[in-house]
Chains A and B, each alone.
Chain A
Amino acid sequence: MLHALVGIKQVPDTTNIRIDPETGSLIRQGVPTIINPYDAHAVAAAVEWKRKLGGKITVITMGPPAAVSALQECIEMGADKGILVSDRKFSGADTLATSYVLAEAIKKIHEEDPIDLIFFGKQAIDGDTAQVGPGVAVRLGYPLITYAVNIREVNLEEGYALIERKTELRNEIIKTTLPAAMTCEKEIAEIPYAALPDLIASLRYKPQVWTADEPVAYDIAQIGLKGSPTMVFKTGTPVQHEPGELIKAAGTSLDKAVDLVLNKIMEHASGAPLIGGKK
C-alpha cells in the first residue's frame, strides 16, 4: 500500500494582484487565494497512484490558519489526511527555513507511517523559487527528481519507481529507490473531478494543526525570520518603458504602414540585415 505525501502551498492568485500606485506595495486585501496550481496537479498525481496501488495520501502545508481551506480542497480531490503546520513563530520564513519546518514534520509523519513518495509542485507562483522541494529532499536525504512529467511505475515490493522528467535537452527516465521526493510539472496528472463522498467529507474536514512546539519541537534558531538567511532589502515597482511609435494600419493605410515598419526594422538592423538576409 502506498503512502504518498504532498506538500502544498496556498498562494494569492497572482493574476488578480493589485499594486497600490501610491506606495508601490501589494494590496493583499480581497485578493483570492488558491492552491498553488502545480501543487494541485501534484495532489492529482498522488490520487491517481493511490487508486492504482491502494493506500493513502497525507497533505501537508505550512501556512496561516486560513490555509485550512486549501487542505480541505485536497481532501475533496481525494487526499485522506491534512496537516497544517502553523505558528506565528514560523512567519517570515524563507525557503531554507520552510524546508526545515517541512522536513522535520515529514520525519515525524514517516516515523509513524512510513512514506514512499513525496510530491511537490515545480514551484509556487507567489515566489517562483522552486527551492522548497529540493531543500526538503536534501534534508531528508531522499533522491530528488525535479520537473517530473510522468510516473511510469511505482513498485512498492521492490522499492523503486520509474519517473520521467524534463530537462533542457530531452526527457529522461529516472529509476529511483523509494522513498524519494519529486517536484511536478502540470503534465503529471489532470485535476480530477471530485467524487461526491470526497466532496462531502471535505466540507466537514478538520485538518490536524501542528505548532512550533508540538508534536515537533522546532529549533527556534532555524525557523521564521531568524532561521532565514535571506531578507528583503527593498521592494519597488518594475521600471516603466518609454512607449514607442504607434502606427495605425487599417484599410488604405495598411500598405504604407507595413512599408514603414519594414524600413524601420531594416534601418535598425543596418549592417546585419535581418530580412532577406541570412536564413
Chain B
Amino acid sequence: MSRRFWVFIEQEEGKIHPVAGELLGVARRLAGEIADELKQKNETAVVEGILVGHEVDDLAQEAIRLGAERVYQVDAPEFKYYLNRPYTEALKTLVKKYKPEVFLIGATTMGRDLAGAVATSLKTGLTADCTQLEMGEARGTNKKLLLATRPAFGGNVIATIVCKDHLPQMATVRPRVFDASPVNKKARGEVIKEKIKVTPDMLNAQVVEFITNQASAIKLEYADVIVSGGRGLGSPKGFELIKALADELGGVVGSSRACVDAGWISYDHQVGQTGKTVRPKLYIAAGISGAIQHKVGMQDSDFILAINRDPSAPIFSVATVGLVGDLYEIIPALIKKIHASKNKGGQA
C-alpha cells in the first residue's frame, strides 16, 4: 500500500502557480520523513498532483517535472475557469476514491476558496496558512502525523495543529513560505485522467465578466527586490520616493499595513501576516517599525536593510543592516549613489 501525499496543482490560463512547485517540494520532504516508519510496514509514500482544468495535458507533464510522481488530471470544458462548486466536487470525489494521507493546497485566493469547501465536504480538518510542516508523533498516537504550524492571534503566538482521526490531513500554505524544489527535466510519471460529473446546480454561479485589475499585476511574492514604506513616510506622497528607489533597483513597492489602512496605497502592496509573504533577495523597509505582523511576512528575505530614525525600532531585530536616521535624507542619498555607480558602468 502506498500513502499518498497530495498537492493541488493550481493553474490559471495555462500557467501553473509557482506555489504548486513549492508544495510538491514540501510533500516530497514529508514523504521522506515517514519513509523509515513505512518501510517497517512494507509500505511506501508517494507524492501526487491533482490537476483540474481544460486542455491541461502540458501542465500535467510540468507538474511531474516539478516533483509529482503521478498526476490525476480532471480535464473538461466545465473546468476551464475556476468555480468553487465544480472544483470542490472534483477534489472531493478524488479524495474519496484514493484516500490520500495529506493534502496540501496553496493559500492563494483560489486555494483558500477551495480548501475550506473541500475540507467541509469531506468532514476533515484543515489548517490554514501554515508556515512550518513536518511529520511527527503527537501524544497518544503511534504513527506520525502532519504537524502543521501557523501563526495565531495576530502573529503573537505560533500554534502547531494536528488532525488525528480524520483523513486527509489538509493544510494550506502561502506562496513563498517554502522554496520551490528544483525542476527535474528528465522526470517521468504517470498521468491518470479522471472524469467528474458536473450537475447543473453546481453551475449556479457563473463568471459573466472579467475586469482587469491593474493592482493584481504586481507580483510582490516573487519580486527580487522590494522597497517598502511605512507610516514613517508621513504622507502618501512619500511613496513617490519609495517608488524612485524601487525603480532604481528594478524592484517593486511594498508597504506596511498602516499605510494601506490609511489609504495611502492599495492592499496589493501590503507585506505581512494579512498581506503577502515575501522573500526577495533584497528587502528595504523604510519608516516601518517592525510589528510582528509585518516581520512574519518578510523576515526570510535574503538581505534586509531597515531604515528608521528610532534606534530601538523592532524592525532592526530582523535587519541584516540597519540604518538609523531620517529616511528622507537616506533614501535620496541611496538613489544618488546607485545612480552614479550605474553610470560609471554596470556594477557599483
With A170-B216, A233-B162, A244-B322 known as contacts, the answer to whether A276 contacts B341 (CB < 8 A) is: yes
The contact of B322 among A95, A245, A273, by CB within 8 Å, is A245
Q: How far is the CA of A254 from the CA of B70 in the complex (A)?
A: 57
Tell me if A233 and B120 are in contact (CB < 8 A). no
The contact of A170 among B117, B120, B213, B274, by CB within 8 Å, is B213
With a cutoff of 8 Å between Cβ atoms, the chain B residues found around residue A139 in the complex are 120
With A172-B211, A173-B211, A276-B342 known as contacts, the answer to whether A229 contacts B124 (CB < 8 A) is: yes
Q: How far is the CA of A57 from the CA of B151 in the complex (A)?
A: 34
Against B, the Cβ 8 Å flags (1 = close, 0 = not) of A134-166 are: 110111010111110000000000000010101
Q: Is B195 an interface residue (CB 8 A)?
A: no
Binds A, one of B72-80, B184-192, B327-335: B327-335
With A240-B317, A241-B317, A264-B320 known as contacts, the answer to whether A144 contacts B117 (CB < 8 A) is: yes
With A129-B128, A262-B338, A276-B346 known as contacts, the answer to whether A99 contacts B120 (CB < 8 A) is: yes
Q: How far is the CA of A133 from the CA of B249 in the complex (A)?
A: 41
With a cutoff of 8 Å between Cβ atoms, the chain B residues found around residue A130 in the complex are 112, 116, 128
Q: Is A22 an interface residue (CB 8 A)?
A: no
Tell me if A162 and B161 are in contact (CB < 8 A). no
Q: Is B209 an interface residue (CB 8 A)?
A: yes
Tell me if B154 and A15 are in contact (CB < 8 A). yes
Q: How far is the CA of A144 from the CA of B330 in the complex (A)?
A: 48
Tell me if B120 and A96 are in contact (CB < 8 A). yes
* Chain B residue at smallest Cβ distance from A238: B158
Tell me if B249 and A275 are in contact (CB < 8 A). yes
The contact of B128 among A131, A166, A244, by CB within 8 Å, is A131
Q: How far is the CA of A268 from the CA of B249 in the complex (A)?
A: 15
The contact of A235 among B160, B164, B250, B322, by CB within 8 Å, is B160
Q: Is A213 an interface residue (CB 8 A)?
A: no
Q: Is B59 an interface residue (CB 8 A)?
A: no
Chain A: interface secondary structure? Answer: mixed
Q: How far is the CA of A24 from the CA of B224 in the complex (A)?
A: 35
Binds B, one of A45-53, A72-80, A109-117, A175-183: A175-183
Tell me if B325 and A168 are in contact (CB < 8 A). no
The contact of B329 among A134, A250, A259, by CB within 8 Å, is A250
With a cutoff of 8 Å between Cβ atoms, the chain A residues found around residue B57 in the complex are none
Tell me if B108 and A168 are in contact (CB < 8 A). yes
Chain A nearest Cβ from B347, distance in angstroms: 5
Q: Is B113 an interface residue (CB 8 A)?
A: yes
Chain B nearest Cβ from A201, distance in angstroms: 30
Q: How far is the CA of A241 from the CA of B321 in the complex (A)?
A: 13
Q: Is B40 an interface residue (CB 8 A)?
A: no
Against A, the Cβ 8 Å flags (1 = close, 0 = not) of B132-153 are: 0000001100000001000111
Q: Is B121 an interface residue (CB 8 A)?
A: yes
Tell me if B323 and A247 are in contact (CB < 8 A). yes
Tell me if A258 and B334 are in contact (CB < 8 A). yes
Chain B nearest Cβ from A247, distance in angstroms: 6
Chain A nearest Cβ from B307, distance in angstroms: 8
Q: How far is the CA of A171 from the CA of B348 in the complex (A)?
A: 41
Q: Is B182 an interface residue (CB 8 A)?
A: no
Tell me if B154 and A17 are in contact (CB < 8 A). yes
Tell me if B320 and A268 are in contact (CB < 8 A). yes
* Chain B residue at smallest Cβ distance from A180: B205
Tell me if B348 and A275 are in contact (CB < 8 A). yes
Q: How far is the CA of A19 from the CA of B326 in the complex (A)?
A: 31
Q: Is B277 an interface residue (CB 8 A)?
A: no
Against A, the Cβ 8 Å flags (1 = close, 0 = not) of B110-122 are: 1011011101110
Binds A, one of B1-9, B94-102, B296-304: B296-304
With A171-B213, A241-B317, A262-B337 known as contacts, the answer to whether A231 contacts B120 (CB < 8 A) is: no
Q: Is A127 an interface residue (CB 8 A)?
A: yes
Against A, the Cβ 8 Å flags (1 = close, 0 = not) of B197-209 are: 0000100111111
The contact of A250 among B84, B212, B304, B325, by CB within 8 Å, is B325
With a cutoff of 8 Å between Cβ atoms, the chain A residues found around residue B159 in the complex are 232, 234-236
The contact of B305 among A24, A126, A228, A261, by CB within 8 Å, is A261
With A238-B151, A254-B329 known as contacts, the answer to whether A274 contacts B13 (CB < 8 A) is: no
With a cutoff of 8 Å between Cβ atoms, the chain A residues found around residue B109 in the complex are 146-147, 166-168
* Chain B residue at smallest Cβ distance from A141: B201
* Chain B residue at smallest Cβ distance from A269: B281
With A174-B205, A230-B125, A268-B303 known as contacts, the answer to whether A126 contacts B153 (CB < 8 A) is: yes
Tell me if A274 and B213 are in contact (CB < 8 A). no
Q: Is B129 an interface residue (CB 8 A)?
A: yes
Q: Is B318 an interface residue (CB 8 A)?
A: yes
Tell me if B112 and A238 are in contact (CB < 8 A). no
With a cutoff of 8 Å between Cβ atoms, the chain A residues found around residue B82 in the complex are 167
Tell me if A246 and B157 are in contact (CB < 8 A). no
Q: Is B255 an interface residue (CB 8 A)?
A: no
With a cutoff of 8 Å between Cβ atoms, the chain A residues found around residue B209 in the complex are 172-173
With A146-B84, A233-B147, A245-B321 known as contacts, the answer to whether A269 contacts B282 (CB < 8 A) is: yes
Chain A nearest Cβ from B206, distance in angstroms: 5
Tell me if B84 and A144 are in contact (CB < 8 A). yes
Q: How far is the CA of A258 from the CA of B339 in the complex (A)?
A: 13
With A131-B119, A229-B163, A244-B319 known as contacts, the answer to whether A278 contacts B250 (CB < 8 A) is: yes
With a cutoff of 8 Å between Cβ atoms, the chain A residues found around residue B324 in the complex are 246-250
Tell me if B348 and A262 are in contact (CB < 8 A). yes
With a cutoff of 8 Å between Cβ atoms, the chain A residues found around residue B305 in the complex are 261, 265
Q: Is A237 an interface residue (CB 8 A)?
A: yes
Chain B nearest Cβ from A147, distance in angstroms: 6
Tell me if B346 and A277 are in contact (CB < 8 A). yes
Closest 3 CB pairs of A and B: A14-B154, A134-B116, A229-B125
